[in-house]
């Protein structure tokens, strides 16, 4: 299936399928998975300071025969790097590791630790004004956190990255994002593999001659959500990529919606109390 991920962008131009790199901390494996994904057609790569692999991601981008300008690259600042000085200095360190002059999207990883909207976010504005970051993002934010960020920032809040999959559909956040022109990016979109074997997902998969992970990714796309599944092997990277060729109908979406679960797989002790 030769279909570029750039053919499925959001209205803002962000490719709706990206390569997630969480726990991809074997350096050579990470380099190779990033290179493989980009040469297969991915144009969105997601990393974070906390993943410890920004240098490997940068090497993978450099190794791929894809122009940097064609890649949507995102990273995140960890909760201990959110005081104003650290926002600026650690972002510069991340850019050096990634081997790039800018990132397309810089997230606040969690509204926790050193995060203080009045202190943290003006430093993001500084990076935005300098052209070191092209978009400001937040991650694991509830609507009230996004509202406060919007009050403080001069730059737009471009995206909110949250856990989302058929077992945690995030209906409230999806409605909020639609109302406020906010991009949603789903991490753990396959519920760490738990989508495999679920009867509803497998039934839809059989109908489309697809895999359950492909159906889960297609369901997110039908809901206007960008997915960044982590994958390391070429087989899994390709399987996720080929989800772009699947179009679910209303009955398929309803069958998945009817699963009716709200199960998190990521819930650290510093997560928002409103979860």
- Six token digits for residue 179: 């109302």
* Distance from C-alpha of 66 to C-alpha of 38, rounded to nearest angstrom: 7
Strand partners, 227: 17, 186
Q: How many CA atoms lie within 13 A of 29 on its CB side?
A: 11
Bridge partners of 231, per DSSP, are none
| Alpha-helix runs per DSSP H in the chain | 27-40, 54-63, 84-98, 117-130, 143-152, 171-180, 199-207, 212-222, 234-241, 250-257
* Fold for the domain defined by 14-193+226-231: TIM Barrel (3.20.20)
Token look-up 């990393």 returns: 47
> What is the token pair recorded at 15?
């490719």
Would you state the pLDDT for residue 21?
98
Residue with tokens 């926790």: 112
The predicted pLDDT at position 2 comes to 42
Q: In the numeric block, which tokens belong to residue 238?
A: 């390709």
**Residue whose token pair is 């599944």:** 229
Phi and psi at 75, nearest 5°, equal -140, 175
Q: How many C-alpha atoms does 184 have within 13 Å on its Cβ side?
A: 27
- CA 189 vs CA 103, 131, 241: distances in Å: 23, 30, 13
Q: Which residues carry out catalysis?
A: 51
| DSSP letter (8 states) at residue 13 | S
Q: Are 226 and 12 a contacting pair, CB within 8 Å?
A: no
Q: Where are the domains of the chain?
A: 14-193+226-231
d(CA 270, CA 35): 34
Helix 212-222 vs helix 199-207: crossing angle, to nearest 10: 90
Q: Which residues of the chain have pLDDT under 50?
A: 1-2, 7
Q: What residues are paired with 45 via a beta bridge?
A: 19, 73
């Amino acid at each position: 299936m030769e279909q570029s991920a750039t053919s499925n962008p959001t209205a803002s131009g962000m490719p709706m399928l990206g390569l997630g790199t969480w726990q991809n901390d074997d350096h050579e494996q990470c380099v190779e998975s990033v290179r493989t994904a980009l040469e297969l057609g991915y144009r969105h790569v997601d990393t974070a300071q906390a993943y410890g692999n920004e240098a490997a991601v940068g090497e993978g981008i450099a190794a791929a025969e894809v122009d940097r300008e064609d890649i949507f690259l995102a990273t995140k600042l960890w909760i201990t790097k959110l005081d104003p000085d650290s926002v600026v200095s650690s972002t510069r360190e991340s850019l050096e590791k990634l081997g790039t002059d800018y990132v397309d999207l810089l997230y606040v990883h969690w509204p926790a630790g050193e995060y203080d909207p009045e202190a943290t976010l003006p430093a993001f504005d500084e990076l935005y004004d300098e052209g070191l970051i092209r978009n400001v993002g937040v991650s694991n934010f509830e609507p009230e956190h996004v509202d406060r960020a919007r009050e403080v920032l001069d730059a737009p809040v471009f995206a909110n990255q949250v856990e989302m999959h058929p077992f945690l559909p995030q209906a409230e956040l999806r409605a909020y994002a639609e109302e406020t022109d906010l991009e949603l990016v789903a991490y753990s979109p396959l519920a760490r593999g738990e989508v495999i074997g679920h009867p509803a997902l497998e039934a839809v998969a059989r109908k489309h001659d697809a895999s359950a992970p492909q159906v889960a990714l297609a369901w997110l796309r039908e809901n206007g959500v960008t997915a960044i599944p982590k994958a390391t092997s070429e087989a899994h990277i390709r399987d996720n990529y080929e989800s772009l060729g699947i179009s679910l109908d209303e009955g398929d979406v309803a069958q998945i919606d009817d699963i009716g679960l709200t199960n998190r797989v990521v819930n650290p002790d510093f997560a928002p109390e409103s979860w």
